[in-house]
Amino acid sequence: MPEAVKTAIEAGFTSMTSMVTDVVVIGVPAVIGVMAIAKGARYGIRWVKSMLSNA
């Protein structure tokens, strides 16, 4: 295999690795944030329902 092809393949894998790392670094906190917001919204709805039922 020519050296230029090896270099191109290695560069591609390096680029792909950094892209996956970036997606994980951004994606994981985003998912956790969405889950927290959803849980907070559910709690808020339950609280409002309980206040209305006690009124």
Q: Give the integer Cα–Cα distance in Å for 55 and 38.
A: 26
Q: Give the integer Cα–Cα distance in Å for 10 and 2.
A: 13
Full pLDDT tens readout for the chain, 55 residues: 788 888 888 888 888 888 888 888 999 999 999 999 999 999 999 999 999 998 7
Tokens for 18?
């950094």
- Lookup result for tokens 């994606």: 27
Largest CA distance in the chain: 79
